[in-house]
């Protein structure tokens, strides 16, 4: 594989984590414009752990997931009282607050004569674990997709379980779920924390792929795209968000047919799909048809 | 299979060994074609020009990470020691994080932030000072 293909595939894998986290929240009936904040929390926590304290990446990624879950839990506590558009706006405000916090953090250590660590708007350089441990781009690609595969297996297992049924019920009819004995608020809080952890894992991997992060990486554009990927790909299966990422990064950007006009095409595509297929390309009907056609037979 | 698993565990659990950092600078001028720039890259390590590196140059937009996949190009050695030349094909004007990936004896990645416009590329100034290389 050439460098370009490896780069595109790695980016598709990385951005899929945040798209899946947005998808998880949509299943629970909530739209978040703020998953980029938890992606950023994961990136900063894992970056500090490996670059400043020499902690191995797997441990740092676990720490990032914990921090992402905790941050999402804290954001979810007050915001889950809100509904629909108000919740979406509250998550966006929370993500912007996190981004401003990243701009204010100046926390560095001198390592080998160089200051390493978050330096406000100047960003955080020297997240070099991948290079210092001789991981080649192909190896990192395998790591990213291996973890993504694990996450997908988890999603598919949950979707086939009682937990998955409860998740969709809470998302589609919370009153019915409440009547059937589900503690909806507590359940949603758990989903928000899990989605935060997932976004943070993506952030941790992104920071180590890029070796540099800055607050601007985690602004609203990333949040809007992650939501759009879930909505384009479809809400019928966890493969939906992946399909959304593939359509944008893989086909529109990867083929470079539209060059600088890609964002316009992407915006138009989102608008058309929201009108004609409001639950995305792989919606529940299509997934049901595919299952009946290929799995049952 | 077992060997691969052991190798992966060893890689994942290894602690970092800090090495002397590579510094980089960029000078770009526009070509007759929109968004294509001829760039000269200067690399140094420990204050000395770094020649003989296998250098690949890519770029990403900080405001939309992972969404712009500029095709990485291999840089050719330039005229002076530590100098390399590459042609960058960007998608649009604006701030780009230019990624310099070094392979061979020195393995590293540098991210240089430059504002690309019709005249060329200028280092990004943030909080009143240029971004550290």
Q: Please judge whether A206 and B63 are an interchain contact, meaning their C-beta atoms are less than 8 angstroms apart.
A: no
> Is the four-CA dihedral A146, A147, A150, A155 of positive or negative sign?
negative
| Residue that the structure tokens 């280092």 belong to | B123
pLDDT confidence tier of residue B2, bands split at 50, 70 and 90: low
Mutate to test the interface with B, among A52, A58, A114, A123 (most CBs of B within 10 A): A123
Mutate to test the interface with B, among A17, A128, A228, A257 (most CBs of B within 10 A): A128
State yes or no: pLDDT of A31 exceeds 90: yes
User: For residue B17, what pLDDT is reported?
Assistant: 40
Structure confidence by residue, pLDDT tens digits, A87-125? 999 999 999 999 999 999 999 998 888 889 999 999 999
Structure confidence by residue, pLDDT tens digits, B109-118? 899 999 999 9
User: For residue A124, what pLDDT is reported?
Assistant: 95
Is residue A266 domain-resident?
A: no
Is residue A226 domain-resident?
A: no
Considering chain B, what percentage of its residues have pLDDT values greater than 90?
Answer: 48
CA distance B96 to B114: 6
CA distance A49 to A61: 9
CA distance A269 to A265: 6
User: For residue B9, what pLDDT is reported?
Assistant: 47
Is residue A132 domain-resident?
A: yes
- pTM, full prediction: 0.89
Q: Which residues of A touch B104 (CB under 8 A)?
A: none
Is residue A70 domain-resident?
A: yes
Q: What's the domain range around A113?
A: 3-218
Structure confidence by residue, pLDDT tens digits, A205-255? 999 999 999 999 999 999 999 999 999 999 999 999 999 999 888 777 766
For A16, A46, A152, A270, the CA distances from A149, given in Å and listed in that order, are 11, 21, 5, 26
- Which residue has better confidence, B70 or A67? A67
B20: left (phi over 0), alpha (psi -120 to 50) or beta: beta
Domains of chain B: 21-130 (2.60.40.10)
pLDDT confidence tier of residue A3, bands split at 50, 70 and 90: confident
Q: Please judge whether B127 and A219 are an interchain contact, meaning their C-beta atoms are less than 8 angstroms apart.
A: no
Is residue A286 domain-resident?
A: no
User: For residue A112, what pLDDT is reported?
Assistant: 80
Mutate to test the interface with B, among A206, A210, A252 (most CBs of B within 10 A): A210
Q: Which of residues 53-112 of B touch A (CB under 8 A)?
A: 56, 58, 60, 62-69, 71-72, 91-92, 97, 99, 101, 107-109, 111
Is residue A29 domain-resident?
A: yes
pLDDT confidence tier of residue B14, bands split at 50, 70 and 90: very low
What is the tally of structural domains in chain A? 1
CA distance A166 to A155: 14
User: For residue B15, what pLDDT is reported?
Assistant: 41
- The mean predicted confidence, pLDDT, of chain A is 92
- Which residue has better confidence, A172 or A296? A172
CA distance A207 to A42: 9
User: For residue B19, what pLDDT is reported?
Assistant: 52
Quote ipTM for the complex: 0.78
Q: Please judge whether A112 and B16 are an interchain contact, meaning their C-beta atoms are less than 8 angstroms apart.
A: no
Is residue A243 domain-resident?
A: no
User: Which tokens is B46 given?
Assistant: 């420990």
State yes or no: pLDDT of B133 exceeds 60: no
Please say whether the beta carbons of A213 and A207 come within 8 A. Answer: yes
Is residue A294 domain-resident?
A: no
């Amino acid at each position: 594989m050439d460098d370009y293909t490896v780069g595109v595939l790695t980016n598709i894998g990385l951005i899929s984590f945040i798209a899946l986290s947005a998808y998880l929240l949509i299943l629970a009936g909530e739209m978040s414009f703020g998953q980029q904040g938890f992606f950023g929390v994961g990136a900063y926590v894992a970056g500090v752990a490996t670059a400043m304290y020499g902690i191995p990446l797997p441990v740092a990624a676990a720490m990032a997931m914990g921090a992402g879950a905790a941050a999402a839990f804290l954001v979810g506590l007050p915001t889950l009282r809100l509904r629909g558009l108000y919740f979406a706006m509250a998550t966006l405000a929370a993500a912007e607050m996190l981004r401003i916090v990243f701009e204010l953090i100046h926390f560095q250590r001198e390592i080998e004569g160089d200051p390493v660590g978050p330096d406000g708007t100047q960003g955080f350089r020297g997240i070099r674990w991948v290079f210092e441990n001789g991981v080649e781009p192909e190896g990192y690609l395998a790591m990213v997709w291996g973890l993504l595969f694990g996450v997908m297996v988890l999603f598919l297992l949950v979707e086939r379980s009682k937990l998955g049924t409860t998740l969709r019920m809470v998302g589609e009819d919370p009153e019915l779920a409440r009547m059937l004995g589900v503690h909806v608020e507590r359940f949603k809080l758990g989903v928000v924390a899990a989605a935060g952890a997932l976004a943070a894992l993506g952030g941790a991997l992104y920071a180590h792929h890029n070796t540099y992060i800055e607050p601007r990486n985690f602004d609203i554009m990333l949040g809007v795209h992650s939501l759009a990927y879930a909505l384009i790909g479809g809400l019928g299966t966890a493969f939906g968000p992946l399909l959304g990422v593939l359509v944008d990064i893989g086909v529109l950007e990867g083929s470079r047919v539209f060059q600088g006009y890609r964002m316009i095409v992407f915006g138009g595509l989102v608008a058309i799909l929201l009108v004609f297929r409001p639950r995305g390309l792989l919606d529940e009907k299509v997934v049901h048809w595919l299952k009946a056609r290929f799995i049952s037979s | 299979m077992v060997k691969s698993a052991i190798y992966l565990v060893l890689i994942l659990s290894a602690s970092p060994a800090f090495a002397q950092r590579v510094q980089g600078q960029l000078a770009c001028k526009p070509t007759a074609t929109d968004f294509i720039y001829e760039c000269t890259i200067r690399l140094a390590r420990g204050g000395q020009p770094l020649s003989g590196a296998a250098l690949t140059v890519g770029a990403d937009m900080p405001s939309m990470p992972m969404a712009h996949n500029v095709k990485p190009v291999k840089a050719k050695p330039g005229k002076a020691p530590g100098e390399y030349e590459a042609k960058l094909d960007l998608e649009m004007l604006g701030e780009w994080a230019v990624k310099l990936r070094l392979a061979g004896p020195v393995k590293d990645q540098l991210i240089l932030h430059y504002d690309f416009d019709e005249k060329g590329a200028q280092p990004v100034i943030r909080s009143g000072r240029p971004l550290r290389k």
